[in-house]
Amino acid sequence: MKIVVCIKQVPDTVDVKIDPKTGNLIREGLPVIINPDDKVGIEAALQIKEQMGGTVTVISMGPPQADVALRETLAMGCDEAILVSGREFGGSDTYATSAILAAAIRKFGSYDLIITGRQAIDGDTAQVGPQLGEKLHIPQVSYVEEIKEVAEDHLIVRRQFEDGYHIVKIKTPCLLTAIGELAKPRYMTVDGVVDAYDKEVKIYGFDDLKDDLELDMIGTKGSPTNVYQSFPKQLKAPGKVLKNMSDDEYVAAIMAKLEEKHII
């Protein structure tokens, strides 16, 4: 089975700190990682490959340093990696990003299955996967929490809803978006890391894809959504913090507050 996994290298937003003086995010020195949902997708793909044979190709659109993330996937056991990178792609929203990824996948060639992560921890949109499915005109199932069966021409998956699930049969070629429950990603092996640096990360630049792109819908200028402004969170004004009191005094203060605000 030919599997393509789309990944994104993201700053580790879980650990980001706010500068107490300016109230702005401290972006310098933030470690970069493979987006967690995407890493789950890699693991799911590798498990399918182990079960039925085939290849796992990883594609990422990003700046040149995304090469590191791609090498990590090679060290996990993926066969091939492609970096889609170019100044012209910068500032793309999800519509433009999915258009560029679709062009890259069409250039890459045939596939049976595409896996993306549900959402990235920096953009948090969960839009690229479904938009990519639409641009490639293939069926999709998102929020996949389990892959129950894989065959050359179809998969059976469990799709999560807030209050239940569906068991869905979907024919290949198709696209799935992965959530955390789907798989626990493996670590890179030492041999894998050594091999990864011998493998080539292919690069697709703007010239490789431009004939297949709606040129007026990529990059900052072309994205149908644009940023008006961004600003750090205005936190709620802090109230009173009581310390060095007895537990009974604390309880009394809480009860007083609950009564004051008509909670009780």
Q: Site residues for another protein, window 132-151 (CB under 8 A)?
A: 133-135, 139-143
For another protein, which stretch binds (CB under 8 A), given 49-57, 69-77, 92-100, 205-213? 92-100
Residue recorded with tokens 């091939």: 80
Q: How many CA atoms lie within 13 A of 87 on its CB side?
A: 0
Q: In angstroms, give the least distance from the CB of 74 to another protein.
A: 27
CA angle, residues 124, 150, 195, in degrees to nearest 5: 70
Beta carbons of 59 and 98 less than 8 angstroms apart? no
- Strand-pairing partners, residue 32, are 11
Closest CB to another protein among residues 53, 243: 243
Query: Exposed, middle or buried, 36 (CB in 10 Å: 0-12/13-18/19+)?
Result: buried
Stretch that binds another protein, among 47-55, 82-90, 192-200, 235-243 (CB under 8 A): 235-243
The answer for residues whose C-beta is within 8 angstroms of residue 6's C-beta and 6 or more apart is 38, 41, 58, 59, 60, 101, 114, 115, 116, 117, 128, 129, 132
- DSSP output for 177-193: EE-GGG--PPPPPHHHH
| Residue 130: CB minimum distance to another protein, A | 4
Single out the residue of 68, 106, 160, 195 in contact with another protein (rule: CB under 8 A).
160
Under the criterion CB under 8 A, does residue 29 sit at the interface with another protein?
no
Q: Does 32 bind another protein (CB under 8 A)?
A: no
Closest to another protein by CB, 109 or 236: 236
Q: If DSSP codes are grouped into helix, strand and coil, which group holds residue 175?
A: strand
One residue of 161, 191, 207, 211 binding another protein per CB under 8 A: 161
Residue 228 sits in the site that holds another protein (CB under 8 A):
yes
Task: Note whether 210 binds another protein by CB under 8 A.
Answer: no
Site for another protein in 107-126 (CB under 8 A): 119, 121-126
What amino acid is encoded at 65 in this protein?
A: Q
Is residue 215 a contact point for another protein (CB under 8 A)? no
CB closer to another protein, 190 vs 235: 235
Instruction: Give the pair of three-digit tokens for residue 145.
Output: 């929490």
Q: Least separation, in Å, of the C-beta of 16 and another protein?
A: 5
91 binds another protein (CB under 8 A): no
Site mask for another protein (CB under 8 A), range 33-72, x = bound:
----------------------------------------
Q: Is the separation of the CB atoms in 147 and 155 below 8 Å?
A: yes
Output the smallest distance, CB 119 to another protein, in A: 8
Contact call for residue 95 and another protein (CB under 8 A):
yes
Contact criterion met (CB below 8 Å) for 60 and 84: yes
